[in-house]
Amino acid sequence: MSGTVSRVPRPNETSTPDPRRHRRDPDGHRQEILAAAGAAFAERGYQRATLRDIASRAGVTHGSVLRHFGSKEQLFLAAVPGPRDLADVAEGPLDTLAERITAAYLDRMEKAGNSDPFVALLRSAGGGDDSTATGLLLAMQQSSEEVYRRLLGPHSLISTVPFLASLLIGVTFTRYVARRGTLAEMSTEQCRHYLQAAVQALLDAAPQPAPPNSPDTAALSSRSAPGR
């Protein structure tokens, strides 16, 4: 009889690998990465958050983050809820668009507040020393333009969209970054009432498309030209 004693596995031991470490679930990984990225960008700001930290939070590899999103910039744009959710908000009749835009914005910001990555980005861009943050802010606006173009027509990219973006950026900075003054002190319902009225006024003021040779049309054409 051999003197070798077979090792009996303990009750809590198993030879089966942890399925979470080897699962093939691209959708699940993508959502985990987005959630981790949103938290990391909100906590650390755009510059200080790293892809390796985000991968660690999500329980995936650094390479997996790059396979899903390609770069830190693209991951940020995907993780910020505003542009990402605009297409869903836009679905529905035009006469309630202002109500939907206001509700989606306030429901998100009142819940997230300081933890929203958009707030972290505004802090960085407002400092004046972060050209990357400023570029991302512009990229977020541009990513929204196609939705508004489809809803309101191409002329809205001059007459309406820049002013709507500026309105929401201004409200975000005053109410959630500076957190001072009348706008910051309003109740959620007061803010909802006045913001919806302001959004509606911008949408109502959108003019009809300009004649082909007008200065506005020329500006829009030059903006859409290749290389711009």
Give the pLDDT means over successive 10-residue stretches in the chain (228 positions). Answer: 51 43 66 90 82 94 92 85 76 92 92 76 65 76 83 86 91 91 96 97 74 52 48
Answer whether 37's CB lies under 8 Å from 6's CB: no
Residue with tokens 């396979």: 67
Q: CA 4 to CA 36: how far, in whole Å?
A: 49
What is each CA distance from 127 to 31, 122, 123, 130, in whole angstroms? 31, 8, 6, 7
pLDDT of residue 13: 45
pLDDT of residue 60: 93
pTM of the model: 0.66
Nearest to 23, CA basis, from 69, 60, 68 = 60
Q: Looking at domain 80-224, does it have CATH number 1.10.357.10?
A: yes
pLDDT of residue 227: 45
Residue range(s) occupied by CATH 1.10.357.10 in the chain: 80-224
pLDDT of residue 77: 81
CATH code for the domain defined by 24-71: 1.10.10.60
Q: C-alpha 177: how far from its chain's center?
A: 16
Residue range(s) occupied by CATH 1.10.10.60 in the chain: 24-71
pLDDT of residue 52: 94
pLDDT of residue 191: 97
pLDDT of residue 16: 42
Q: CA 65 to CA 62: how far, in whole Å?
A: 5
Answer whether 55's CB lies under 8 Å from 61's CB: yes
**Cβ-based burial of 226 (10 A; exposed 0-12, middle 13-18, buried ≥19):** exposed
Q: C-alpha 191: how far from its chain's center?
A: 21
Q: How many CB atoms lie within 10 A of CB 86?
A: 17
